[in-house]
Amino acid sequence: MSTDSTVYIAGAGVISAIGNNVAEHLVAFKDEKAGMAGITLLDTIHKDKLPVAEVKLTNEELIEITGLREHNSRTALLSLAAAQEALADAGIPYFKTLRTGFISANTVGGMDRSEDFFVKFLADNSKGKLKNVYDHECGSMTETVADKLGISDFITTISTACSSSANAIFYGARLIRNDVLDVVVAGGADALTKFTLNGFNTLMILDEAFCKPFDENRKGLNLGEGAGYVVLVSDKIAKTLNKPLYCKLSGYNNSNDAYHQTASSPDGTGSYMAMQGALKKSGLQPSDISYINLHGTGTPNNDSAEGTAVKRVFDPVYPPMSSTKSFTGHTLGASGGVEAVFSALAIKHKIIYPNLRFETRMNELSFEPEKKFLTDQPVNHVMSNSFGFGGNCTSLIFSAV
């Protein structure tokens, strides 16, 4: 292990329905402007029925921004857009001389291209471009983006549902802490696909209106898409940089309650273990946490389970908390990375995000999320929750430096 095992966040990049970069996201939060709208990019039977949070760029526009070739998946395009921003933001001049890694998460891979292929192929099996299914699997996205970033020392993909990119971040941190790598670009990406939309609709957990996380009258989630990455650096590298660091990653934990394939345990066992484990790793007490970025999907099951776990950890004194999915929708495998960026920004800019459309406190809880965008706040420690299918629950804690 390295002599100083502190891992710092030196750069951040994000793209979602509320912005194409960090600066645009900060404006959207300040203006309390959500990204949900009717479906415009997907050719789906749900087009006029279900709101989603689409990135407001076509594939052609993303290709122009990233320089990727036309046949690449939208997931790869989103991934590269955010990862490029994060690396540029970090400003590591001797990057190519270091031991570098790219740890990226996604859950759909090249599904969007595969869907296009099969529509044409099933109508006429002499039609359809095979290159659209060549890069179907999740790992292809990571390899494509790593190549464009110039990273080859360590490349891997994590796919653990909604906790995927949170797990990617703390895996990257462990590699740095154990002196395997110097710098890791970590996070994740996911694009909207018909497969995803149909699957979640089958589970009957999509809201036909804009989602209301942690509201007593919540009915479900809105699917979103996007990508979020942070640049993790060792203490040694941090000391050589000419720009201020965002924060450090002080705590992390992944736990699994093994309760159900898709539902959280009613008592929030996995969520509780993840939060408690992250606090223990960081050496902090619940009272030290300045803000919680809730997983907060807006489904009856998730919010009840997470709320129960939050009560168990923090009662009777609760920090400000909110679900930024009320802005971005649920970006699935990207959510942990996107919200890690939001957590780092909360510390850097001393802000707390609002939980849009909240009206009524949940009956079983004695707390409620923040309703307004707050500035000049004492934000020193942020807990970010990412709880996925199969009971895969991860909490990250970011701390000021």
DSSP β-ladder status, 226-234 and 183-190: antiparallel
Residue 68 resides in a domain: yes
Q: Find out whether 330 and 303 touch, Cβ atoms under 8 Å.
A: no
Q: Is the peptide bond before 316 cis (omega within 30 degrees of 0)?
A: yes
Residue 342 resides in a domain: yes
Q: Count the helices and strands in the chain (H runs, E runs).
A: 13, 10
- pTM above the 0.85 mark? yes
pLDDT, tens digit (0-9, with 9 covering 90-100), for 144-178 = 999 999 999 999 999 998 999 999 999 999 999 99
Please check the confidence at residue 309 and state whether its pLDDT lies above 70.
Answer: yes
Domain that holds residue 318: 250-399
Q: Is the peptide bond before 51 cis (omega within 30 degrees of 0)?
A: no
Residue written as token pair 């942990």? 336
Which alpha helices (H) appear in 55-130, and where do they start and end? Answer: 59-66, 74-90, 111-123
Task: Calculate the alpha carbon distances from 199 to 193, 194, 203, 206 in Å.
Answer: 10, 8, 7, 10
Residues 54, 126, single domain; the answer is yes
Q: Which range (116-120, 251-255, 307-311, 367-371) has the least confidence?
A: 116-120
Please check the confidence at residue 388 and state whether its pLDDT lies above 90.
Answer: no
pLDDT, tens digit (0-9, with 9 covering 90-100), for 10-42 = 999 999 999 999 999 999 999 999 999 999 999
* Confidence band for 262, pLDDT divided at 50, 70 and 90: low
Amino acid in position 346: A
User: Which residues are catalytically annotated?
Assistant: 162, 295, 330
Please check the confidence at residue 268 and state whether its pLDDT lies above 90.
Answer: no
Residue 314 resides in a domain: yes
**Structure tokens given for 206:** 């999509």
Going by C-alpha positions, the residue among 69, 43, 68, 37 that lies closest to residue 55 is 37
Residue 123 resides in a domain: yes
Instruction: For residue 298, give the CATH number of its domain.
Output: 3.40.47.10
pLDDT of residue 256: 87
Residues 22, 148, single domain; the answer is yes
Please check the confidence at residue 286 and state whether its pLDDT lies above 60.
Answer: yes
Q: Find out whether 28 and 20 touch, Cβ atoms under 8 Å.
A: no
Once rounded to an integer, what is the mean pLDDT over residues 370-383?
Answer: 98
SS3 109: coil
* Confidence band for 269, pLDDT divided at 50, 70 and 90: very high
pLDDT of residue 135: 80
Task: Calculate the alpha carbon distances from 234 to 98, 143, 179, 196, 238 in Å.
Answer: 11, 23, 9, 37, 6
Residues 57, 89, single domain; the answer is yes
Residue 79 resides in a domain: yes
Mean pLDDT taken over the chain: 94
Please check the confidence at residue 380 and state whether its pLDDT lies above 90.
Answer: yes
* Confidence band for 3, pLDDT divided at 50, 70 and 90: very low
pLDDT, tens digit (0-9, with 9 covering 90-100), for 86-104 = 999 999 989 999 999 999 9
How many domains does the structure of the chain reveal?
2
Residue 1 resides in a domain: no
Residue 38 resides in a domain: yes
pLDDT, tens digit (0-9, with 9 covering 90-100), for 180-235 = 999 999 999 999 999 999 999 999 999 999 999 999 999 999 999 999 999 999 99
Q: Which range (126-140, 171-185, 312-326, 384-398) has the least confidence?
A: 126-140
Once rounded to an integer, what is the mean pLDDT over residues 253-267?
Answer: 78
CA angle 23, 140, 81 (to 5 degrees): 15
The residue from 215, 238, 261 where one domain ends is 238
Residues 231, 271, single domain; the answer is no
pLDDT of residue 389: 72
* Confidence band for 267, pLDDT divided at 50, 70 and 90: confident
pLDDT of residue 261: 67
Please check the confidence at residue 266 and state whether its pLDDT lies above 90.
Answer: no
The residue from 238, 258, 292 where one domain ends is 238
Q: CA–CA separation, 108 vs 137, rounded Å? A: 8
Once rounded to an integer, what is the mean pLDDT over residues 105-131?
Answer: 90
Q: Percent of the chain scored above 90 by pLDDT?
A: 88
Residue 129 resides in a domain: yes
